[in-house]
Amino acid sequence: MDDLFSQIESKPLSLLPYDGDVTYCGHLIPPEQSRIYFNRLLNEVDWQYDQAIIFGKHIITKRKVAWYAEHAFQYTYSKTTKTAKLWTPLLLELKQLVEQQTKEQFNSCLLNLYHDGSEGMSWHSDAERELVEQGVIASLSFGAKRKFSFKHKDTKETHSVELDSGSLLVMKGATQRHWLHSLPTTKKVDTPRINLTFRQIRTE
Ligand SMILES: O=C(O)CCC(=O)C(=O)O
Ligand SMILES: [Fe+2]
């Protein structure tokens, strides 16, 4: 496992022209290994339908989610509070891969399971007060290739990238302050995708 990176030539691509720092590494994990990770994540993660309160209404999302961390942290978004489950060996293995590549440390991970292209995530930024300010978010994708977009909050400029299976996208610096991101829904994709966003939760 340790020499996985040295086997793969992957020059990260820089996506944003200003006000943020996003890099995309298309082939962090080779296709066959990515397929194995996808299946293991599908079977081993404790997937749940996500709940939120939006305009006072209790909503249950179509996509499934899970949240794991080094402690039973609590995290509030869309007016619902979630408690983290503790790292599993599989998630620790993926965390180690991501930490080696980014030279950063992560203490939690939010996972999303999109059953097909009819499920996505609308425009948002990840700057909840539980997160370290200007912390790094490392996003690992498996399964169906999906478009991922950024939109500047003031200029409305947009930039998109196709997130492939086994790819890593790293968002840091002022990115969350100035840019929104989304996973648009699409009729072109009829297979599932799993995404892991490794995050830095404030501990003090
Ligand atoms: O599925 C993705 O690629 C992105 C998910 C995301 O933006 C999030 O979980 O905050
Ligand atoms: Fe996000």
Please indicate whether residue 125, judged by its CB atom, sits closer than 6 Å to ligand 1.
no
Encoded tokens for 175? 């990115």
- Ligand 1 atom closest to the CA of 110, numbered from 1: 9
Mean pLDDT of 52-56: 80
Which of 34-43, 79-88, 194-203 is predicted least confidently? 79-88
Report the distance separating Cα 200 and Cα 9, nearest Å: 27
Calculate mean pLDDT across residues 128-145: 92
Q: What was the pLDDT predicted at 158?
A: 98
* Helix H or strand E encompassing 5: helix 4-7
Under DSSP, the state recorded for 201 is: B
Residue-wise pLDDT tens digits, 139-154: 999 999 999 999 999 9
Q: Decide which of 197 and 79 is more confident.
A: 197
Residue 77 has pLDDT above 80, yes or no: no
Residue 163 CA, closest ligand 1 atom number: 3
Q: What distance in angstroms lies between residue 131's CA and the mean position of ligand 1's atoms?
A: 15
What's the mean pLDDT in 158-175?
97
Global pTM exceeds 0.90: yes
CA distance 13 to 94: 21
- The domain segmentation of the chain, as residue ranges, is 4-199
Q: Which CATH number is 4-199's, of 3.40.50.1100, 1.20.120.610, 2.60.120.590, 3.40.50.620?
A: 2.60.120.590
Region 67-85: mean pLDDT is: 86
Mean of the per-residue pLDDT values for the chain? 92
Mean pLDDT lowest among 20-34, 42-56, 71-85, 163-177: 71-85
* C-alpha dihedral sign at 159, 149, 4, 110: positive
- Whether the CB of 126 sits within 6 Å of ligand 1: yes
The pLDDT-based confidence of 10 (bands split at 50, 70, 90) is: low
CA distance 188 to 156: 25
Q: What is the pLDDT at residue 7?
A: 43
H/E run at residue 93: helix 89-102
CA distance 20 to 159: 12
Of 117, 111, 183, nearest in space to 147 by CA: 183
